[in-house]
Structures are given as structure tokens and as C-alpha cells.
Structure 1
Amino acid sequence: MCGITGWVDYRRDPTIVDEVGRAMIDTMTCRGPDAEGRYQAEHVMLGHRRLAVIDVEGGAQPMTYPDADGEIALTYSGEAYNFVELRDELRRRGHEFRTASDTEVVLHGYLEWGESLVDRLNGMYAFAIWDGRTESLLLVRDRMGIKPLYYQPIEHGILFGSEPKAIFASGLVDPVVDADGLRELFGFVKTPGTTYYRGMRELRPGHLLRFDRNGLREHRYWALEAREHTDDLDTTIATVRELLQDTVSRQLIADVPLCTLLSGGLDSSVITALAQQSLHARGAGPVRSFAVDFVGQTERFQPDFMRDTPDAPYVADLAAHVGADHTDVVLSTSDLMDPAARRAALAARDAPPLGDMDTSLYLLFQAIRERSTVALSGESADEVFGGYKQFHDPEIVAMPTFPWLALRRRTRDRGGLAALLDPDLTRTLDLETYVADRYADALAEVPRLDGETGLERRMREVCHLHLTRFVQILLDRKDRMSMAVGLEVRVPFCDHRLVQYVFNTPWAMKTFDGREKSLLRAAGRDVLPQSVVDRVKSPYPSTQDPTYHQALRESVQKLLADHAAAGLRLFDADVVGRLAEAPPSSGQLGRMGLELVLNTTAWLDHQNATLAV
């Protein structure tokens, strides 16, 4: 896994502005601590920072191929899990390889198939190819958007990078957050392609972009399709299991130490158990696993609307069941409030962090990186198989909005977070209209099956909304927190073959046992302890230590007293002040509000962003 960046300019020569390329590449150091490289030619600079995972010695980048009509150069981030098969096919077509890396396979794949290479890749990736024969740039992002890729058109050119900070480091554009950026931030809808910054775009999942002297053209090469599902239940369960086994086996390929992320939930437990099976079959193992926990969490755990049980007992059950080499990373309030850790999470995100859940994830990944370079995660199973509460509440399902927003408003928010905003800003943003418009756009993208009506039709919509919007929030979080410490996290549940197959299974089949994620539970039941099979869905953990809430209150009180943060003008000072004085018993809403104020103001200060509202 790596960080990529670049600059194309048809009026200026990027090769003579050395400090620009250096600054852009340096922002990617955390994503690629092992090596760096730069490709320069007339009109183009490509930068790369490498995290060596496959072919440690031979996979240096950017990678080039000489051609009589112009050199081709590739800067690549990610993994092509089917690179061995593709390399064999390319060899049969006459290609010769100097390395054992998947990067070289992608480069030769482009030479052989051009843009249609993307139809053959299985993996997570974001890459850029400069084609000197046509003096054009190709940007590509994987089907599910696992790896990020941002770009910003400029006069006579384009800038791109794995993270916004690479683009801003060029000095050619400044971070400006306007009303649309704030609408995305406070609306929590994750419109594909948008960012919080004026003029900057995120390449949409399953899309490629070609840029040349005629401008840019973005093209969708993959999207979920509506197909009739003809397999019976037993065949469907067997197919899910087969796809999972193949995907996990492929994603265990690495030339560096790897592990799994284990929460004791169904998703991560299936991945860990299947990984152990695959490693054992190869004569390797045991699987190494890691979990995050909080001091005293199990002993003082109180069930709430989101979480019925603590993770630790189920983590222990699964680890013992499969014989994993397991490590618990246990965090305290002082760890979560540590200024260095919070700054690191903030810097990694280029956006306001999600409070203790981001800080704890960063600290978990930091601890894992001491023993492993690659981790397999259970992320995205809820979106694929229907795991969240909002999938199973008829009242929420029927609401004409994004289901996660309906759940938040009904159970936790109740409009409270919106009430924190400055009244004039609230009128300017008109979030209700913005969210409604984005919801209408999202529904218009849903593929339809002829004759599908009622609940099945609605649940296809709900699944599509989660697979194209909500999952992006979580994948971006996972990528940023992991790459901030140079850890590659793979997500087997995002294999596009699995996602497409399960998307078309009827909702009645997805819930055939009367529970969430029925197909996944049935497909993995035989490798799990009964306690995990029976466990109800529990999201990523959040500390219940009341001293954490108190620390947030004190931080917001200090922020209000200093009057130094420019971002404070986004909020109603009186409402925020009352929230900071309220006791921890005010619950999750109060904590979410405090985190929102702290993290939004810290983000704007860190980015030195201009507020254009």
C-alpha cells in the first residue's frame, strides 16, 4: 500500500519546480514509509511513497515502460489480488516481467488492454498512468472505493493525490470550505465525488478519468447491477462461503507479517476463522489477531441503543476457538485525550475526526504496526449483508431519507446536533433541502429489477444507499487511520464479486432466519463458537468511561474561553456553552455535540482553511 500524487500542466513545466513535487510527495510519507520515487517529464510529475508489501526488493515506483512514441509511467497504490493470473495471461501474450510485483502487472496490463484493464482487476487500488504517447493522464479508482483518490483541475492542468493534503502542499490551490462543503459535513450524506473543499473532487468508486489538452473526461466502468437471483437458499449460502474463502485466501498473500482485526462480532470473526483455516492449509499460522478495548469497559458496561454487549468476552471466545495469537490493545481516557494522538487522527483525516472512535482506531493501528504490516478487516459486511439496526426497523425503512440519518434523528440526535449551529448559518445551509436533494439523486441511481415491488423494492434501495454512500464514510476512516501509521488494511467483504452477488439476493433470503446478516451467519457458522453465532450486531466500540465525557466538557469550556478558533463562528456559543456545562448524564447526544465542536474547529485551524460562508 502506498501514497500517490502528481501534477500535470500543459503551460508550465513541473520538472523545474522541484520544491512543489517535493512538498507533495512528503505529505504521503506516512502512507509509504519504506521508499519514495518521482517521475518527471515535460508537463508531468508523478510522485510515490511506498509501503512495501509484495516484492519488497523489486516493486519500486513510479514504474516506467519505454516506447518509441513516448514513455509510459505508473504510480500505483493498492493491491491487485488476481495479479498472478493476469501475469500468466500477459506472459502468454508475449510480455516479459522484471519483477514479482503486482505493480508491473498493472503497467503491462495497460500496455496490452488500455483503459479496459480495469475490467480485469480484482482488488483495492488507486493509480495514475502518464501516457507519453498521447501526453495524457489516466486516473483509476477501485470499484468499491476502498482506496482514496482526489483531484483538482487548475488552469492548464490538474493536481491529484491520495489525500487532499498532497494537493494543498503544491501551493497552487488553497483550502477553502464553502457552504456546499459544510452541507456535506453537517448533512452526513457522503455524496460520491464531493469533498469539503471548494474545487476539489474525489474520483468516484468504479470510475476512471482521462485528462489531456482537451480537458477531463470521467467515465464509470463498474456499478452494481440489478439481476434476477435464481439460486435457492442452500446454493446461495454455499456460494457466499465459496466467495469468502477465495477472497480471504487471496488477501492473505503478502511478503510481510499480517494479521486480522477482531471485535468478537460476526464479521471480523468469520474473517479471522477463515484466515486461520487458509493459513493452516498452507502450513502457516496461527493467525495473529488484534482487538481494541477500554480500561474497565467490560466491568462497567451498560447496554445502550447501539450496543447490547461488550466486545471482550466474544473476542476471547473466538481467539480460543481458532487458536489465534491474539493481542488486546487496552486504552484509557488519558490515551484517548492525549493531544498527540488527537492531532495525529486529525491530520490523517483532512476532516473532523469521529471523536474517540477515530482516536482509538488510530492508537489500535499504531500498536498493530509494531508487529504487522497488513491487516484483514471485517468492514463493510453490514452494508453487504444488512447488519445495521436501520435495515430492520420498518418505521425507519419507510422514511423518505437516508436510513442512517433517520436512525440518528429518531434515537440519538433528535435535531440536537443541528441546534448547535449558528442560526444564520442554519438558514444559509438549509440542510433539510440539501439532504432531500441528495437523497433524490441517490435513489435515481438505484438499479431496478422488472416487477420488483413492495418491501423487496424498498430494501434494494436501502442496500444500494448503504453500499454507495454510507460505506464510503467507513472505508475512508479505515484507510486514513491505518495509513497514518503505515498499516495496510484489506477488506474482504468489499470483493466486488461478493458484493454484486449478495446485492441481488432477495431481502427475504438475507433475513431467512429472522435476524440480521442471515446469509453470512449461515455461511460461517461451522467455523465459529456458538457465542459469536448468537451475538447481536454491535458497532465499533466507544468508551463508556464518564471521565472521557468530563474531559470533553473541559476542553470545550477552554475553547470557548480562548475565543481563538475561527471555526467557533459556525456554532451558537450559548447552546455550546450550555452543552459544556451539562453533566455526563446528558448522554450520547451531549458527547457527540462536544466532539463536533472540538473537532470541527480543530480541523479548520489545522488546515488553515478559509471559511467562505
Structure 2
Amino acid sequence: MCGITGWVAYDRDLTLERAVLDAMTDTQLRRGPDSGGVHLARHAALGHRRLAVIDPEGGVQPMTVEHDGRTLAALSYSGEVYNHHELRAELEAAGHRFRTRSDTEVVLRAYLEWGEHLAERLNGMFAFAVWDARTEELLLVRDRMGVKPLHYHPTPDGVVFGSEPKALLAHPAVRPVVDLDGLRELLALTRTPGLTPYRGIAEVQPGHLVRVRRQGLTVRRYWALEAREHTQDLATTIGTVRALLEDIVHRQLESDVPLCSLLSGGLDSSAVTALAARTLRAAGAGPVRSFAVDFTGQSEHFAPDAVRTTQDGPYAEMLARHVGAEHRVVELDPAALGAPAQRLATLRARDLPGGVGDMDASLLLLFRGVRERSTVALSGESADELFGGYRWFHDPGIVRTEDFPWAAVLSSLGGTGSGPREQLLDRELLGKLDLPGYRRARYREALAEVPHLPDADPFERRMREVSYLNLTRFVRILLDRKDRMSMATGLEVRVPFCDHRLVQYVFNAPWSMKSFDGREKSLLRAAVRDVLPAEIAERMKSPYPIVQDPRYPRLLRAELAALASDPRSPALALLDRRALSDALAPDTDPQSVRLATDLALDLDAWLTEYQVELEL
């Protein structure tokens, strides 16, 4: 896994712009701590920072292919292609000769063989740029589910691109401007494909490619979820899910550097860990290594609620014993999570305010601890979106709501905009933003995309819509978060449940099968029950943990008081003075405004650190 960046300009000589490219490439150092390089041509400059995972010696980038002393193409690539062995054999049969073992070279030669249609042949998570020196064209490609990020900014004579916004913001032509629509996208609890809060900076959408020519820029979609009739019975469907998972985990265990799993003790991460343990044991490769997160004093402060009924720790330990894992717990200090330095670190990882407080900070610190012993980790992310694990899939009222279900849940908790996060925002600003109206418009756009079967049962049709919203909107919020927090520590996180073969198959399984036993994630539970302890197979969904130590919200209150008393704080222009005063009142429980306080502090750090130009 790596960080990529670059610049195409048809009206200038980029061999003279090494300093700009170096500045852009240097922003990706944490994504690629092992090595870096650049490729300069007259109209194209590619930068690369490498996290070496496959063929550490041979996969140096940017990678080029030459013929008769002339460069044919250059590649800057981030990701893993899990079917690279099969593609290599096919390309060798077509006459290609390889000089490395890397999947990077497979991608480059696949481009030479198939052009932009290589995208349809790749199984993996990836984002890459190919400069075709023969035609002077740039190709930007992103994986089907959007696991790996890729941003771009069109210019009058070309494009600037990079894994993260910070790479583009290092270019003199790109400014951190955020207007009302950008702020809406930041706050509305949706994730509109292709958009970012920064004006002029777009994302290559998942399952899309962007081709840049002298004549301009074009976009093509090469993959989308399709509606297909599901003809298999329940037993066959369960067996197919299991077979797919076994193949996926087997493929994703390939690594030339230390690999582990992220284990919460929930169904998803336990299934991945257990299947990985079986695969490694069968290959004589030793025990699987697993990591869990916990907070100092969490046992004393833990209080069950409607969302988190049990602690993760005992279940993670149970699964680790069951499969013979080499298990470690990364224990975090709640006081450290609220420190301004930690908030700044998470902000720099995301390039945007996260607004979820200690969930970002703890994930970053967890990955930092994991990275001390592993370079690659397998995760259970995306199983809930795919198999229907969230409670909003099973709440008839939420299912019927004409809104993104996760936003409807948070809105039900109160607040003027999308929910309790907006309690401290200026009321006039909230009126201008009209976050509910913006979300409704984006919701209608998303519904219009959903593929349907003719004459489908109305309830099955609606559940297909809910599944589509989760797989194309909500999952991207979580995948972005996981990518930024992990890559900020130089850790590659793989997501087996995002394999497009599994996603396409389960998307078309009827809801009656996905909930056949009256539970959430019925198909997944049935497919992996035999490799799990019964207590874990039957465990209810428990979200990623948050700090319950009462010191944490008190620390946030102190930071908020400092912000309120500093006239130089840029966030004050976005906050409501009366709401701010009420939040700081001695009789206000800081826990009641925890989400809003976190958002206000994040906004202030972002506006300061990134020198954001607000045009509201």
C-alpha cells in the first residue's frame, strides 16, 4: 500500500517542476514510509511513496516499461491486486516478460495489454495512475468499492491528482476553499460519490476511471452493482458465501511482511480471524496474529446501553483462545485521546474534521500500536453493510423513512441539522445550510441509481434500496476513515468483505435469506458458525467502542472553554454564542454536548491548520 500523486500539464515542461512534485510527494510520506521516487516527463510528473508489502526489493515505483530505449508507460500505484498470479500467467502467455514478483508490474503490463479495460480484470483494492508516453494520456483508476482513495483537481491544461487532498493542496494551483455546498457535504452525514468538501477537488468514484487527454477529461464507469435474479436455495446460498469467504481470505493472506487481523470479538472480525487461522494452519504457517483495542479503566466505567450491551475484550480473548491466535491488546489512555496533539494528528490523517471524536483518535492510536509488530492487517469492515448487521435494517420505522437510515437514527436523537453534532453551530448558518434539505436531495439521487428486478415484492424492493444505500454511501464513510487512520501509521488494512464477487452475490440474495432466522446477518452467521464459539456466533452487533471514562468529556469542556475565550479561534464564526455559553455552564453535563463539542474543536483545528478559505 502506498501514496501516489502527480501532475499533467500540456502547456508546460514539467521536467522543470521537480520542486513542486517533491512537495506533493512528501505529503504522502506516512502512507509510504519505506521508499519514494518520481518520474518526470515533459507533460507528466508522477510521485510515489511506498509501503513495501509484495516483493519489497522488486516493486520500486514509479515503475516504467521501456522498449528500444523509449519509455512506453509509467505507473504510480497504490493497493493490492489479489489475482495477480493468474493475470501474470495470462500476460506471460501473451508474450510479456516480467522482471519482478510484484503485483505492480502485473498492473503495468496489464495496461499495455488491455488498455483501460484492465480495470475489469483486477480483483483487489487499488488506486493508480498510468501515464501512456506513446499517446500522452493519463489514466486514473479506482477500485470497485472505493477502498483506496484517489483525488483529482482539473486545471486549464491538465490535472493534479493524489491519494489524499493534502497532496493536491501542496500544489500552488490548488487552494483549500470551502463553500456552502462543501460544508453541507462535510456535515450532512452522507457521502456523495465523487464529491469532497474542497471546491475543485473531486474523487475518482469507486468503480470508475478518469482519462485525461490534451482535449480534456472523460469519466467512465467500469463496474456497478447489478440486479440479478437469485435462483439458489438457502443451503446453496450459505455454502456459496462460505466458499467465497474462504477464497477471499486465502488470497488476502499473501504478504512478504508481517500480517495480522483486527479482532473485536464480534461476528465479522471473528469470522475473518478464524478463517485466516484455518488457512495458515493448513499451510503450516504458524498461528494467526490478532490485535484488539481497550481503554484503561474501561471495565470500571463500562455501562451497557441500547447500542453496546457487552464489552469486546472477553469475546476477543475467547476467539483468540478458540483458534490459537497470538493475541495482543492495545490499551489506550482516555486522557491521551482528548489531547490537542492527538486531535491534530487525526485531522492531518483525514485532511478534514471527522466530527466523531475519540473514535478517530483511538483508531489512529490502535493502528500505531499494531504497526509496531505488523505491516498488514485484515479487518471485518463492511460486513454490516453487506449482510444487514445494523439495527436500522431491522427497524420498520427507520426502513420506511425517506432518508439515509443512519442519518435518520442520529436525527432522532435531537439537533437542528443532522443531529446532536450541530448543537453548537450558528443558527443562521444552519438555516443557510439546510442540511435536511441537502440530504433529501442526495437521498433522491441515490435512490434513482438503485437497480431493481421487475415485479419485485415491495418489501424486498425496499430492502434492496436500503442495502444499496449502505453499500454505496455509508460504507464509504467507514472505508475512508479506516484508510486514513491506518495509512497515517504506515499500516495496510485489507477488507475481505469488500471483495466485489461477494458484494455482488450477497446484494442479490433476497432479504428473506439475509434474515432467515430472525436475526441480523443470518447468512454470514450460518456460513461461519462452525469455526466460531457459540457465544460469538450468537453475539449481538456491538459498534466500535468509545471512551466511557467521565474524564474525557471534562477534558473536552476545558478545550471548548479555551476556544470560546480566544478571539482568534476561527471556529467562533461558525458557532452560536448562546449555545456555547450554555454548553460551558456549570450545571451542563459535558457528556450531553460531547458530540457537538468534538465537532466544534475539530472545525477549529481544521480551519487553523489548513488555513481554510470559507466562502459562505
What TM-score do you get using the length of structure 1 for normalisation?
Answer: 0.98
Residues 552 and 215 (structure 1), Cα distance of their counterparts in 2 relative to 1, 3 Å cut: same
Question: Match for 2:155: what amino acid?
Answer: I
Work out the CA distance in 1 between the residues paired with 2:59 and 2:233.
45
The alpha carbon displacement at 1:419 in A equals: 3.9
Determine if contact 1:553/1:581 at 8 Å carries over to the other structure.
no
Work out the CA distance in 1 between the residues paired with 2:437 and 2:338.
36
The alpha carbon displacement at 1:563 in A equals: 2.2
Whether 1:282 aligns to 2:286 is no
Give the match's secondary structure for 1:151. strand
Whether 1:426 aligns to 2:430 is yes
Whether 1:478 aligns to 2:482 is yes
The alpha carbon displacement at 1:573 in A equals: 2.0
- State the partner residue of 2:460: 456
Structure 1 stretch displaced more, 245-254 or 423-432: 423-432
Within a 5 Å distance, the mapping from 1:582-601 to structure 2 comes to: 585=589, 587=591, 589-601=592-604
- State the partner residue of 2:560: 556
Give the match's secondary structure for 2:6. strand
The alpha carbon displacement at 1:332 in A equals: 1.7
Whether 1:201 aligns to 2:214 is no
- State the partner residue of 2:58: 58
Alignment gaps of 5+ in structure 1: none
Structure 1 residues 60-88: Cα deviation after superposition (integer angstroms, max 9, x where no partner):
00111124686210000000000000001
Work out the CA distance in 1 between the residues paired with 2:588 and 2:60.
52
Structure 1 stretch displaced more, 10-19 or 410-419: 410-419
- State the partner residue of 1:301: 302
- State the partner residue of 2:158: 157
Structure 1 residues 404-425: Cα deviation after superposition (integer angstroms, max 9, x where no partner):
0111112465744334221221
- State the partner residue of 2:45: 45
- State the partner residue of 1:219: 220
Give the match's secondary structure for 1:603. helix
Superposed structure 1 runs of 4+ greater than 6 Å apart: none
Determine if contact 1:71/1:132 at 8 Å carries over to the other structure.
yes
The alpha carbon displacement at 1:370 in A equals: 0.6
Determine if contact 1:293/1:329 at 8 Å carries over to the other structure.
yes
Residues 422 and 412 (structure 1), Cα distance of their counterparts in 2 relative to 1, 3 Å cut: closer
Question: Match for 1:362: what amino acid?
Answer: L
- State the partner residue of 2:105: 104
Question: Match for 1:217: what amino acid?
Answer: T
- State the partner residue of 1:573: 577
Work out the CA distance in 1 between the residues paired with 2:479 and 2:401.
25
Work out the CA distance in 2 between the residues paired with 1:338 and 1:173.
31
Whether 1:443 aligns to 2:447 is yes
Structure 1 residues 471-497: Cα deviation after superposition (integer angstroms, max 9, x where no partner):
000000000000001000000000000
Residues 435 and 350 (structure 1), Cα distance of their counterparts in 2 relative to 1, 3 Å cut: same
The alpha carbon displacement at 1:567 in A equals: 2.4
Structure 1 stretch displaced more, 331-340 or 44-53: 331-340
Work out the CA distance in 2 between the residues paired with 1:318 and 1:585.
38
- State the partner residue of 2:18: 18
2:505 aligned to which of 479, 501, 505: 501
Work out the CA distance in 2 between the residues paired with 1:175 and 1:37.
26
Question: Match for 2:519: what amino acid?
Answer: R
- State the partner residue of 1:608: 611
Work out the CA distance in 2 between the residues paired with 1:412 and 1:266.
31
Question: Match for 1:59: what amino acid?
Answer: G
Determine if contact 1:298/1:312 at 8 Å carries over to the other structure.
no
The alpha carbon displacement at 1:299 in A equals: 3.2
Whether 1:397 aligns to 2:399 is yes
Question: Match for 1:111: what amino acid?
Answer: L
Question: Match for 1:594: what amino acid?
Answer: T
Structure 1 stretch displaced more, 272-281 or 67-76: 67-76
Structure 1 residues 311-335: Cα deviation after superposition (integer angstroms, max 9, x where no partner):
1111111111111100111112222
Residues 563 and 406 (structure 1), Cα distance of their counterparts in 2 relative to 1, 3 Å cut: same
Question: Match for 1:545: what amino acid?
Answer: D
Give the match's secondary structure for 1:172. coil
Work out the CA distance in 2 between the residues paired with 1:381 and 1:71.
41
Work out the CA distance in 2 between the residues paired with 1:95 and 1:126.
23
How many residue pairs end up in the alignment? 612
Determine if contact 1:267/1:378 at 8 Å carries over to the other structure.
yes
Give the match's secondary structure for 1:87. helix
Within a 5 Å distance, the mapping from 1:217-366 to structure 2 comes to: 217-353=218-354, 354-366=356-368
- State the partner residue of 1:467: 471
Determine if contact 2:74/2:132 at 8 Å carries over to the other structure.
yes
Work out the CA distance in 2 between the residues paired with 1:323 and 1:417.
42
Work out the CA distance in 1 between the residues paired with 2:460 and 2:586.
44
Structure 1 stretch displaced more, 28-37 or 428-437: 428-437
Determine if contact 1:9/1:158 at 8 Å carries over to the other structure.
yes
Whether 1:141 aligns to 2:145 is no
Work out the CA distance in 1 between the residues paired with 2:9 and 2:198.
21
Structure 1 stretch displaced more, 474-483 or 525-534: 525-534
Work out the CA distance in 2 between the residues paired with 1:314 and 1:355.
25
The alpha carbon displacement at 1:339 in A equals: 3.2
Residues 586 and 392 (structure 1), Cα distance of their counterparts in 2 relative to 1, 3 Å cut: farther
Question: Match for 1:382: what amino acid?
Answer: D
Work out the CA distance in 1 between the residues paired with 2:119 and 2:301.
50
Work out the CA distance in 2 between the residues paired with 1:469 and 1:583.
39
Within a 5 Å distance, the mapping from 1:82-93 to structure 2 comes to: 82-93=83-94
Work out the CA distance in 2 between the residues paired with 1:358 and 1:15.
39
- State the partner residue of 1:388: 390
Residues 390 and 159 (structure 1), Cα distance of their counterparts in 2 relative to 1, 3 Å cut: same
The alpha carbon displacement at 1:455 in A equals: 1.2
Give the match's secondary structure for 2:148. coil
The alpha carbon displacement at 1:447 in A equals: 0.4
Question: Match for 1:610: what amino acid?
Answer: E
- State the partner residue of 2:3: 3
Work out the CA distance in 2 between the residues paired with 1:361 and 1:327.
15
Work out the CA distance in 2 between the residues paired with 1:279 and 1:381.
22
Work out the CA distance in 1 between the residues paired with 2:423 and 2:562.
21
Structure 1 residues 94-114: Cα deviation after superposition (integer angstroms, max 9, x where no partner):
110000000000011011111
Work out the CA distance in 1 between the residues paired with 2:367 and 2:433.
36
Work out the CA distance in 2 between the residues paired with 1:444 and 1:233.
30
Work out the CA distance in 1 between the residues paired with 2:523 and 2:415.
32
Structure 1 residues 540-589: Cα deviation after superposition (integer angstroms, max 9, x where no partner):
110100100110111101110112221221121221221233667564x5
- State the partner residue of 2:493: 489
Determine if contact 2:410/2:420 at 8 Å carries over to the other structure.
no
Residues 358 and 33 (structure 1), Cα distance of their counterparts in 2 relative to 1, 3 Å cut: same
Alignment gaps of 5+ in structure 2: none
Give the match's secondary structure for 1:77. strand
Residues 463 and 230 (structure 1), Cα distance of their counterparts in 2 relative to 1, 3 Å cut: same
Question: Match for 1:200: what amino acid?
Answer: I
Whether 1:521 aligns to 2:538 is no
Determine if contact 1:549/1:584 at 8 Å carries over to the other structure.
no
Structure 1 residues 159-208: Cα deviation after superposition (integer angstroms, max 9, x where no partner):
00000000011122110011111001111111010001011101100000
Question: Match for 2:279: what amino acid?
Answer: S
Residues 537 and 47 (structure 1), Cα distance of their counterparts in 2 relative to 1, 3 Å cut: same
Determine if contact 1:550/1:584 at 8 Å carries over to the other structure.
no
Determine if contact 1:80/1:124 at 8 Å carries over to the other structure.
yes
Structure 1 residues 193-228: Cα deviation after superposition (integer angstroms, max 9, x where no partner):
000101110110000000011110011000000001
The alpha carbon displacement at 1:304 in A equals: 1.8
Determine if contact 2:554/2:590 at 8 Å carries over to the other structure.
no
Give the match's secondary structure for 1:417. helix
% of aligned pairs identical? 60
Determine if contact 1:273/1:528 at 8 Å carries over to the other structure.
yes
Work out the CA distance in 2 between the residues paired with 1:314 and 1:223.
36
Determine if contact 1:557/1:577 at 8 Å carries over to the other structure.
no
Determine if contact 1:580/1:594 at 8 Å carries over to the other structure.
no
Determine if contact 1:179/1:429 at 8 Å carries over to the other structure.
yes
Question: Match for 2:560: what amino acid?
Answer: V
